[in-house]
Amino acid sequence: MERVQVEIFGQVYSIKGKDDPAYIRELAAFIDSKMKEVQKGTGTVDPHRVAILTALTITDELYRLREQYGNMEKTTENAAKRLLDLTENL
């Protein structure tokens, strides 16, 4: 495992992980960007509050994407069943 130093919202963190260091830096950059976006949108300066609001924002995005994925999966299954039914009737 390799240690990677990243900066998130003005704080430097040393992260140890199995993943590619570039990927860890990319994740950290995403979080940093989201935190700055939340701070700008809310005017909140307390880093803990910004972190909680950012976590809620990212979690909301995750839940919405999971729902979209589930809907697409159902649509795909239904379409595949219809195609199978059509080919069986040939």
Mean pLDDT of all residues in 3-20: 96
Mean pLDDT of the chain: 95
User: Residue 52 sits in which domain range?
Assistant: 2-88
Residue with tokens 């509050």: 49
Query: With contact defined as beta carbons under 8 Å apart, do 54 and 35 qualify?
Result: yes
The pLDDT-based confidence of 43 (bands split at 50, 70, 90) is very high
pTM of this prediction?
0.80
Query: 51-55 contacts: CB < 8 A, separation 24 or more?
Result: 51/9
pLDDT of residue 42: 95
pLDDT of residue 61: 98
Size of the chain, expressed as the number of residues it contains: 90
What's at 79, amino acid-wise? A
Mean pLDDT of all residues in 17-41: 97
Secondary structure letter of residue 89 according to DSSP = T
Q: How many domains does the chain have?
A: 1
What's at 56, amino acid-wise? L
